[in-house]
Amino acid sequence: MYELKFDPDLCLACDSNACLVKCQHMDIDQETARTEILKLCDGESSFVLQDCVTCYACEEYCPNGNHPFYLIVQKQEEFNLLPLPDPLVKSGIQVGIPFRGEPEIQEITGTALNMGVFSQLASRVEGRLFENLTIMSGDSRKMFHYFCQLMYLHYGKTSVINERLDKIIQTIAAHKVKEVVHFHDECFGTYTSYAPAFGIEVPFKSIHLFEYLYNKLLELRDDIKPLGYKVAYQRPCSSRLSPDKHPFVAKIFDLIGVEAADREYVDENAMCCGATILGQKKEGSRKYCAEIQKKNIDDMKKAGAQICVFNCPACMQTLGMPVSKQGIMPLFLSDLCRLAIGENAA
């Protein structure tokens, strides 16, 4: 079994305890934050395990890169304090089983685009921005062969991820691909953050979708017609695992001629979409989810956003319709980029 590379001494020496102090969902002062994180370091339980909404943000807040969120999830499982009700955990784990039958393996020359479990969104990756990529996906029976499994962090189940991830990596590597662009932040975070944190070897280079889009847009710069919209970006939980890639959003906005809506819940202060909170077993979770979503939408409206762009399909599914009802058009960022070069989005 893989072990988390976590250094308790870094928590002991930390003078900010920002991982918990900055949490948007728990009101924790620095003294309490220090006490509780050190409890977890010592193998003890903490109220943090029950109150965590699994938004990933503490991974970004930690100034030492010490993986506090992975520690919290690991301890949730160890103490059987899972965020979701047991029936939902059991059914969810069954749904995501990746190896029902053998995948079809063909050698891929050049760069691949990993769609993960989102093969139904293949129409989002058409046109000149994606023309030189080989799509890595499966049909309805085999799509889970490329499912990164990181979703189970929301279930408090690192054991499921660690049990399945190595074979998924082997499946991707079997295509003999050297570079893989990942459609979803969650997949990118799996191979560049989670896997290294648990000592899981990844034999291919991962490229974040936004970095890829930015570089392709630079190649097509002469074809870009500034769009002129005011745009809000709904940052997903999983982008907290790759905060160094987040600045590409602003770079893309500049290239395609849109104005970033001046939101309160943006960048490090981004508020999650609430999707994972909805099903949690804590009392009042449904009401709290509605509050989170209202904060996000009111924030977009106040900032005068005309479009809200997403990268996470779960965020789009959760907030797309409510945003649309408020007169704000929901789009994937890749679709907005296609519009900028004169292509119709799917």
Residue 316 in tokens: 């789009």
* Cα(215)–Cα(129) distance, integer angstroms: 10
Q: How confident is the model at residue 198 (pLDDT cuts 50, 70, 90)?
A: very high
Asked if 182 and 233 sit in the same domain, the reply is no
Mark which of 183, 211, 239 sits at the end of a domain.
211
Q: How confident is the model at residue 5 (pLDDT cuts 50, 70, 90)?
A: very high
For residue 105, being part of any structural domain is answered with: no
For residue 172, being part of any structural domain is answered with: yes
- Is the per-residue pLDDT at 346 higher than 70? no
Between 94 and 193, whose confidence is greater? 193
Q: What pLDDT is recorded for position 139?
A: 58
Query: Coil, helix or strand for 208?
Result: strand
Asked if 225 and 202 sit in the same domain, the reply is no
Asked if 203 and 226 sit in the same domain, the reply is no
Q: What pLDDT is recorded for position 1?
A: 72
Asked if 315 and 245 sit in the same domain, the reply is yes
Give 42-91 pLDDT, tens digit per residue: 999 999 999 999 999 999 999 999 999 999 999 999 999 999 999 999 99
Mark which of 24, 59, 78 sits at the end of a domain.
78
For residue 94, being part of any structural domain is answered with: no
Question: Which residues make Cβ contacts (< 8 Å) with residue 192, sequence separation at least 6?
Answer: 202, 206, 241, 242
Considering the chain, what percentage of its residues have pLDDT values greater than 70? 97
Spatial contact of 145 and 98, defined as CB atoms under 8 Å apart:
yes
* Cα(246)–Cα(235) distance, integer angstroms: 9
Angle formed by the axes of helices 158-173 and 68-78, nearest 10°: 120
Q: How confident is the model at residue 145 (pLDDT cuts 50, 70, 90)?
A: confident
179-182/111-114 β-pairing:
parallel
Q: What is the mean pLDDT of residues 215-220?
A: 97
For residue 101, being part of any structural domain is answered with: no
Q: Where does residue 13 rank: exposed (0-12), middle (13-18), buried (19+ CB within 10 A)? A: exposed
Minimal CA–CA distance to 49: which of 81, 96, 92, 14? Answer: 81
Q: CATH code at 191?
A: 3.40.50
Give 287-337 pLDDT, tens digit per residue: 999 999 999 999 999 999 999 999 999 999 999 999 999 999 999 999 999
179 phi-psi bin (left φ>0, alpha ψ -120 to 50, beta other) = beta
Asked if 250 and 294 sit in the same domain, the reply is yes
Q: What pLDDT is recorded for position 140?
A: 55
For residue 194, the 8-state DSSP code is: I
Q: CATH code at 298?
A: 3.40.50.1860
Count of CB atoms within 10 A of residue 119's CB? 17
Asked if 207 and 226 sit in the same domain, the reply is no
For residue 49, being part of any structural domain is answered with: yes
Residue 123 lies in domain: 111-211
Mark which of 177, 211, 245 sits at the end of a domain.
211
* Cα(341)–Cα(220) distance, integer angstroms: 8
For residue 97, being part of any structural domain is answered with: no
Q: How many domains does the chain have?
A: 3
Q: What is the mean pLDDT of residues 226-235?
A: 97
Spatial contact of 122 and 135, defined as CB atoms under 8 Å apart:
yes
For residue 102, being part of any structural domain is answered with: no
* Cα(166)–Cα(183) distance, integer angstroms: 20
Spatial contact of 129 and 341, defined as CB atoms under 8 Å apart:
yes
Helix (H) or strand (E) holding 60: helix 57-61
The residue type at 93: I
Q: Within its chain, how far is the Cα of 40 from the centroid? A: 24
The residue type at 317: Q
Asked if 146 and 203 sit in the same domain, the reply is yes
* Cα(282)–Cα(14) distance, integer angstroms: 30
Give 20-35 pLDDT, tens digit per residue: 999 999 999 999 999 9
Q: Which residues pair with 233 in a beta bridge?
A: 309
Residue 54 in tokens: 């699994």
Q: What pLDDT is recorded for position 283?
A: 82
Q: How confident is the model at residue 182 (pLDDT cuts 50, 70, 90)?
A: very high
Asked if 255 and 326 sit in the same domain, the reply is yes
- Is the per-residue pLDDT at 36 higher than 90? yes
Give 102-141 pLDDT, tens digit per residue: 777 889 989 999 998 888 888 889 999 999 899 987 655 5
For residue 86, being part of any structural domain is answered with: no
